[in-house]
Amino acid sequence: MKTRRAAFALTLVAAAALTARAATFDLSTATTADIQAAMDSGALTSEKLVQLQLARIAAYDQTGPKLNTIITLNPNALAEARALDAERKAKGPRSPLHGVTLIAKDVFDTKDLPTSGGFWLMKDSRPSRDAFVIDRLRAAGVIVLAKLNQSDWYGVGENGGGTLMGRVISPYNPVKYGGGSSTGTGAAMGAWFATLGLGSDTTGSVINPTTLNSLVGMTATRGLVSRAGMMWSSPRQEAGGPMVRSVVDLAAMLDVIAGFDPADMATMACVGRMPDQPYSSFVDADGLKGARIGVLREMFRQGPGHEAGLALMEKSLAEMKAAGAILVDPAATGLDLVRIQMEADAAPYERAVAIDAYLARLPSDAPIRSVSEMIEKGGAKVKPSILEASRLGPLERDRALAAVYRQQDMLRAALVGLMDRLQLDAVVLPFRTLLPDDIRDPVSGGRWQRYDVRNHLHSSTGLPTLAVPGGFFPDGMPFGVQFLGRPFSEPTLIKVASGYEAATRHRKGPASTPALPGETFAYRAPGDNS
């Protein structure tokens, strides 16, 4: 750690020596690099950053638009920030994330805060240790600012909310569905309540709220990021991932959370497959120049309601081409990808055993420590899918699940084979083209639960995907595109996604949560001689 700290300090000194300019800090757009520069100059502290973000939460979470994203605020956040400021002054920053804040979907265990999954029976559940990714982020100097509301993990909650806190409200359109199940992370990051966000994904639950909140999000290759200490529904499909406002921040976060964890043996797959350079080094404003991108039109839905989304996708493709990408259009597998994607879902079979494995990790005084106890105490509020999964026999003898695994393997092989055959860097597809659902409409408001409106090939294949803002629907809701790659091709995805982001700059904050006083200020950057 001392060697890394010293190297990072030298990097900052070198960068400062080359910089001679007046700088402007804007909380709504500030990346982790911008925050470090402002802190290095003395114009910003971690304590001040936390104060600014707490002010936003106070203004917009339970007042104003009442986004209803926060389940638990960290009462020690300011004290932790002051300690990190003192450490920075005495020793320098631990990492490029030193002193920034994180908000996490309430499925990630935190030893100092409850972890509920949005489920009323779990509101007082206090894990004895941090999830692997939380532990790594804290070690890098990140402050866990809050745990977030979400689509209920175990219970029959509202559309986009849980039995504990109710529905999360979209900051972009209060009557539209903001994407689940990492709903709170999407809305809170869209309203810039914190620097970094964490979501989790079984069948698209990181990418869905990422795209519907004008964010940048990723689920990495299966086996790159540990799931230890996460509530999960599928050992085969579950993934945790960054939900942030820039590719720069996503890469910086991945640098910390990726790697081998003996508590999650799936991460053995990453050994020898990670790049020698930091993921951050692959951010490239010209990343699309010469990149061969396959257009996966087999995942472009047609029909009423899709017209606006399809038009946005065509505009995105034109933007990629203008930025220098070589589009291979169409790039076709010859398969009915939409149907196979829906058939290749292991979660309905694995849900009960996955939940049991998580609950068994909790302390002996936890409110619930098994699925059977959950059903006994929760009654009609427990999800029917959990009840159904609890009735299954031994999974090792379940031929239907074995068939699902074969479908997943076939789908993965077909997509990787397509990229190899056409020599593609990645394929591109929308996450969804259907107009976002109206939560007031019992017909469209229930459609969020249907997987036939979203493209989540990454979930069933374990391939990495990276979503970036691609514009806005006519109703003001954001639209997103995703780049899907080969196993462990995160460096390539970061490169092409950062190229698209630099060429388009589609992200904009929601009008319902405008900037507050003090969030923008000018300062003299290190080395500024003006």
What is the pLDDT at residue 474?
94
Q: Report the DSSP beta bridge partners of residue 481.
A: 430, 468
Q: Is 303 exposed, middle or buried (0-12, 13-18, 19+ CB in 10 A)?
A: exposed
Q: Which two tokens stand for residue 73?
A: 């605020």
Does the N-terminal peptide bond of residue 234 adopt cis geometry, omega within 30 degrees of 0?
Answer: no
Helix (H) or strand (E) holding 427: strand 426-430
For 247, 292, 427, 487, 508, the CA distances from 420, given in Å and listed in that order, are: 25, 11, 11, 12, 36
Please, what sign has the CA dihedral across residues 523, 525, 526, 530?
A: negative
- C-beta separation of 344 from 460 below 8 A: yes
Output the DSSP codes for 127-178: -SS--HHHHHHHHTT-EEEEEE--S-SSB---TTEETTTEEPPPSS-TTB--
**Residue 95 backbone phi and psi in degrees, to 5:** -160, 175
Range of the domain at 386: 20-508
For 391, phi then psi, to 5°, come to -90, -5
User: Is residue 522 a part of any domain in this protein?
Assistant: no
Within-domain flag for 526: no
Judge whether 12 lies within some domain: no
Taking the C-alpha atoms of residue 100 and residue 195, their distance in angstroms, rounded to an integer, is 6
In a domain, 517, yes or no: no
Structural domain count, the chain: 1
Question: What is the model's pLDDT at position 349?
Answer: 98
Residues in the chain: 530
Alpha-helical regions (H) of 167-212: 183-190, 207-211
CA distance 44 to 66: 28
d(CA 242, CA 220): 9
CA gap 114, 122 in Å, rounded? 8
| CATH code for the domain in which residue 71 is found | 3.90.1300.10
In a domain, 1, yes or no: no
* Predicted local distance difference test score (pLDDT) of residue 158: 77
Would you say residue 40 lies in a domain?
yes
Whether 393 is covered by a domain: the verdict is yes
Q: Splitting the chain (530 residues) into consecutive groups of 10 residues, what average pLDDT does each group show?
A: 50 45 94 98 98 98 98 98 98 98 98 97 97 98 98 87 94 94 97 98 96 98 98 98 98 98 98 98 98 98 93 98 98 96 96 98 96 96 96 97 98 98 98 87 52 86 98 96 98 98 98 98 75
- Which run of H or E residues covers position 483? strand 478-484
Report pLDDT for 145: 99
Q: List b or e across 31-62, with b for residues whose CB sees 16 or more CB atoms inside 10 angstroms.
A: bbbbbbbbbbbebbbbbbbbebbbebbeebbe
Q: What is the pLDDT of residue 443?
A: 56
Vertex 299: Cα angle to 298 and 304 (nearest 5): 110
DSSP H or E segment with residue 201: strand 196-201
Q: Which of 107, 72, 118, 377 is nearest to 368 (CA)?
A: 377
CB 128, CB 83: distance < 8 Å: no
Report, as residue numbers or ranges, the catalytic residues. 105, 181, 205
Q: Is residue 529 part of a domain?
A: no
Give the CA angle between residues 115, 165, 112 to the nearest 5°: 25
